Amino acid sequence: MGAEPKRQKVDFRALLCYNTRCSVRHNGLLAANSLSRRGTNRDMVMKREFNVLIERDEDGYLVATVPALRGCHTQAKSHDVLMKRVREAIELCLEVEKPVSNEFVGLQRIAVNA
């Protein structure tokens, strides 16, 4: 009858940054965790802007990706819900990683023989 090994805590904020489905399923829980860690002085919050790439997948979901934050993405059926979720995803991803500074140059469509 030995001691049980310690259980490893799961950081849902880290999962959000690397798993699209997780960010959708645990969205409310993650937002609550994030809000509880914020200070009350809103004047001290620095505003940052991020480019967000939005695509529609084969199931009709809108998928948002933030290129400056590796693995930061989420999805929703409507644009309004998507924007709310991507803001939450960005805030949570900023807690676990620093953004890379990429300059947006443009989007190009290219055709290839397939």
In tens, the pLDDT along 52-89 reads: 999 999 999 999 999 999 999 999 999 999 999 999 99
Query: 69: closest CA among 90, 55, 48?
Result: 90
pLDDT at site 41: 55
Query: 30: closest CA among 82, 88, 71?
Result: 88
Q: Could you tell me which residues are beta bridge partners of residue 77? A: none
**DSSP per position, 15-42:** HHHH-HHHHHHTHHHHHHHHHHHS-S-G
Domain ranges of the chain: 12-40+51-96
Overall average pLDDT of the 1-9 stretch? 53
In angstroms, rounded to a whole number, what is the distance separating the alpha carbons of residues 62 and 54?
7
Q: What is the mean pLDDT of the chain?
A: 75
Pick the CATH number of 12-40+51-96 from 3.20.20.70, 3.40.1190.20, 2.60.40.10, 3.30.160.250: 3.30.160.250
Where do we find the tokens 């529609």? 56
Distance of CA 2 to the CA centre of its chain: 41
* pLDDT of 11 higher than 60: no
pLDDT band at 2 (very low <50, low <70, confident <90, very high): low
Higher pLDDT, 95 or 17: 95
In angstroms, rounded to a whole number, what is the distance separating the alpha carbons of residues 69 and 82?
17
Instruction: State if pTM tops 0.75.
Output: no
